[in-house]
Structure formats: C-alpha cells, structure tokens
Amino acid sequence: MPCVTCRCVALDAAVAVALRDLAAAADAPLDDAVERALAAPGPHAIVSLEPPPGTARHPHPEVALLVSAPRDATGRRVAGLLVHPRRRGTSRTRGVRTVAAALAEEAPAVAAATTLWVAGDDPERDVALIEAGWQLDREQLRLERPLPAPEPEPVPGVRLRSYRPAIDDEALVAVNNRAFAGHPDQGGWTPSRLAAAIAGRRGFRPADLLVAETEPTGRDLLGFCWTVLHPPAGPRHGPVGEIHVVGVDPAAQGRGLGRLLVLSGLAHLHSRGATTGMLYVTTTNRPARRLYEALGFRPQRRDRAFVRPANAPPGER
C-alpha cells in the first residue's frame, strides 16, 4: 500500500531550497554527488520526503533522503539522510524508517544501487534503517586537528605545485585509480568524472589541488592533495579546512609523500583562514589512521554507510 505520510519526488529548485535548510538545521555533511544534485536540481536526483510536499507552498520536510544521479555506468548512486533535530525518539525513527522504505518501494532499482551515508552515532536511527531493509556496509571517522600544523619537510626528488586543469587530468586520474584500486567511491575515476567533481565544488581554485611530481623534470606525477575550505559553522567558529582526498601512487609510497601532501594541504588551508583541519578516513584503513594520528588528528565523529540488497524486503512502515 502506498505510503500516505511520505513520497518520492524529483529534485526541483523549491525542494533543493528546503533540503539546504534542513541540512543546515541537522548539521549533516553531504557527499559531493549530493551537493552537485542540490546545486543543479533536476529529475536525475530523487528525494524521499516526510512529510510530503504541499501543493501550494514549498515543502518543509523534517526527514529526507536525497539520492544523487548515477555516478557511473553501473548506476551506482550515493544518498544523504537528513533529520531535523526536533524529530526525537519514536517520531524520529518512524520518519527514518518511512523515507528509507519508501525509496525501496517506489524506486527499487535505485535503492539497490545506492550507498546511504548517515552522520554520527545514533543507534535508534540505525535500527530504523535496518528495519527498512538496509545493511551496514562500512564506517568512517571524521578526524580534526587545530591549525596551524607543523611545517612540512621536503622530500628529496619531489616538488609540489598547483593542479593544471585539463593538462594534469589523465595523469592525476591514473594515480588516483592506482591509489584507490577497488575503493567503492574513489576508485575507477575518469577525466570526465574528475571534471564533474571539480565543477560541483563551489569556489574551487587550481591552487586548492596540490600535485606532487618528480624534480627537476616533472615527468611523473606521484601524488596529490585536494583541499576544500568550508565556511564557519557559527559565529564562534572559524573556517574549517578539509583534506578532501589525498592519494599517493603505490610505486612512490614509503618516501614520506603522504605526510608531505597532508601537511602542505593543511598549510594551504591555514593560509586561506582555516582554524581547524579536518578529513575522513575509513575505520579499516589502519596505515592512514596511524599517519593522521601522528600528525595530530583526533576522532570527532563516526559516520556509517548502509546499502540495500536488491532482494531485501520492503521493510515495515
């Protein structure tokens, strides 16, 4: 029976405005693909809302699940779950269960190809998702440290420079795919996907993407560090600088490139006004976690990714 308290809708400009308001109230981070969907609303993205939008006014959802356009030819998508702080206890978990199950009932093929990210520890929310047919896939930590960080020490035979649009794309994607071989989100990139990711980053500047190459020839690209400056979360907080992606070619590992790239990225972010450095790392990536801990990063939050098997039951409503 169709759900009368929520429904899936196409993402249009009015819905995008409501979702940005909800994301701000929920203080929930959004994946790049979800951010791009909000920046360019259209029927390629799907939103499951509770309560459903009104007919004569902008919707004011309190629980929403926003699913991006397909990320590649396999149809893989990513989704973000937004819950307003006023939704607590039974009311909150019922809303989460409702929107998660509605997506599976109204767009089952989309649900089966979607990775759903949720922020922070919330056992009741996680139980609601499991009851709606989703399964825990992986976890990541949000790590932070105050800025400035220690100055990076040079690595012999390596120099850093800014990314050159179009010129560096093939080499950068090749290094990325070797560094993240088999990674469900970062692996298997193409130059067109890199271009889309850059276009979706508001305020992106080539200097925000640092590239490490051989010195003095610059013939080989060895690694990269993509930084993002986020606005202050409130009047008492300064800008947050994110190490968005850092990748080192496996053939160049063991030379201190990861440390050089991270510290150089933090120095760049601090020069732009960031007072806190931040990054995400999967809980199972122990070598990266050891490096980040040695550089002064400490855990601040644990996020979880859920997936929904194609044959999963619709879930209770």
Residues of the chain with pLDDT under 50: 1-4, 55-56, 58, 316-317
CB 256 within 8 A of CB 295: no
> H helices within the chain, ranges in order?
13-26, 32-39, 89-106, 108-112, 123-131, 169-179, 191-199, 257-271, 286-294
Q: What is the pLDDT of residues 30-59, one digit of tens each?
A: 777 787 788 778 777 888 888 766 544 545
Q: d(Cα 250, Cα 105) in Å, to the nearest integer?
A: 43
The dihedral of CA 270, 272, 275, 276: what is its sign? negative
pLDDT of residue 233: 66
Q: d(Cα 280, Cα 289) in Å, to the nearest integer?
A: 10
Sequence spans of domains, the chain: 7-133, 145-302
- Which of 224, 242, 228 is closest to 198 using CA atoms? 228
Q: What is the pLDDT of residues 96-139, one digit of tens each?
A: 998 998 888 888 989 999 999 998 888 988 999 999 999 999 99
CB 303 within 8 A of CB 140: yes
Q: Collapsing DSSP states into helix, strand and coil, what is residue 229?
A: strand
pLDDT of residue 58: 46
CATH of 145-302, one of 3.40.630.30, 2.60.120.460, 3.50.50.60, 1.10.1510.10: 3.40.630.30
If one counts every other C-beta atom within 10 angstroms of the C-beta of residue 101, the result is: 26
Q: Which CATH architecture has domain 7-133?
A: 3-Layer(aba) Sandwich (3.40)
pLDDT of residue 315: 53
pLDDT of residue 221: 96
- Which of 25, 108, 114 is closest to 65 using CA atoms? 114
- Which of 83, 92, 66 is closest to 8 using CA atoms? 66
- Which of 181, 242, 253, 169 is closest to 211 using CA atoms? 169
pLDDT of residue 17: 85
DSSP at 295: T
Q: 7-133 with 145-302: one CATH topology?
A: yes
